[in-house]
Amino acid sequence: MIAMHRLAAGFIGLCWAATVAAQTFPSRPIRVVVPYAPGGFTDIVARLVGQKMTDKLGQTVTIDNRPGGSTIIGADMVAKSAPDGYTLLMGVTTTISTNPFMFKKLPYKASDFAPVALTGMTPFVMVVNPALPANNVRELVALAKAKPGSVSSATLGIGSSVHLVLAMLRGAAGIDILDVPYKGAGPALTDLLAGQVNVYFDAVPTSMPHIRSGKLKAIAMTSDARLPVAPEIPTFKESGYPSMVAYSWYGLLAPAGTPHAVIERLNAAANDGLRSPDVRERLIADSGVAPIMTPEQFGDLIRAHTDVWGKIIAPLKIELD
């Protein structure tokens, strides 16, 4: 009985300590690890939201860029950090929704992280060289079926998001499109513009200047609905392929075990920043959408996306380590 009382007292003490910690949080700067180099969309979103969180929380939110290893280096660092809310990860689709299916020796698990806040989602736009005789999804599919292997698509290598979206299209439409891997988005886009390849799934901001100038044709978006930044481009969904909905998600993750009250405070600060007109305008300009979500809703979104990507990756039998 005495042991039970001591156990109960210890549990109450831990709960009390967690409550006090949450009430005084944050008492020092917060670090957000970005698993990419500075300048990309992930880094931009982290800095935009981080600044707003700084204003809201009264403590500096610093950005720590740790690129490399398909986000594994930065993710592993955060997974092994103290679960106190002072070290966060700007996680992306790759980190949790695709890496676990492709790296058998991954040093972390999805369960090593606690969802904090969704900060953005971006779809892909399928663009083609104007010389390709296809102006919409129906014509592209018909061309690929009439001449299997004659249509080529640039990707960024096996396991890249571009490669996986192409695999998604192959399965949805039952077509054979040649996969041409590139070491970067720049060379892939250059060869697409030159007509060395026919098709590419790109980020909207990168392709939009070429679409506007007529150097590329936009076939369809992988979004649920047309984007305000490009309302003239249809979705695959409305073009007869409802399963062709794909986004890259971006969001704050904390080490598992971080007190729920701390996560709630971080979520409120991030969401407050996402509601700011300047942040929303920048996200829209970069083809991003950022539904305001609770940590639980963000967790549901991660699981849903992981399920979708897992079904795409499984038959491909990709092993990257």
The full set of domains in the chain, from first to last, is 25-122+247-316 (3.40.190.150), 125-221 (3.40.190.10)
Confidence at 3, pLDDT banded by 50, 70, 90: low
Which residues fall within 8 angstroms of residue 106, CB to CB, at 6 or more apart? 72, 99, 100, 321
DSSP-assigned beta bridge partners for residue 140: none
**Which whole number is the average pLDDT over 206-233?**
95
Whether the pLDDT of residue 12 is over 70: the answer is no
pLDDT at 22: 64
Q: What is the DSSP letter of 224?
A: S
Question: For strand 125-128 and strand 87-92, is the pairing parallel, antiparallel, or unpaired?
Answer: unpaired
Confidence at 205, pLDDT banded by 50, 70, 90: confident
> 102-158: per-residue pLDDT in tens?
999 999 999 999 999 999 999 999 999 999 999 999 999 999 999 998 999 999 999
Q: Hey, CA dihedral for 188, 194, 199, 203, is it positive or negative?
A: positive
pLDDT at 5: 55
> 19-76: per-residue pLDDT in tens?
555 678 999 999 999 999 998 889 999 999 999 999 999 999 999 999 999 999 999 9
pLDDT at 289: 86
Question: Three-state DSSP class for 142?
Answer: helix
Q: What would the two tokens of residue 58 be?
A: 């009264």
pLDDT at 288: 86
- Quote the CA–CA distance of 169 and 74 in Å, as a whole number: 31
Confidence at 321, pLDDT banded by 50, 70, 90: confident
- Quote the CA–CA distance of 11 and 61 in Å, as a whole number: 32
Give how far Cα 93 sits from Cα of 50, 52, 121, 276, Å.
20, 23, 10, 24
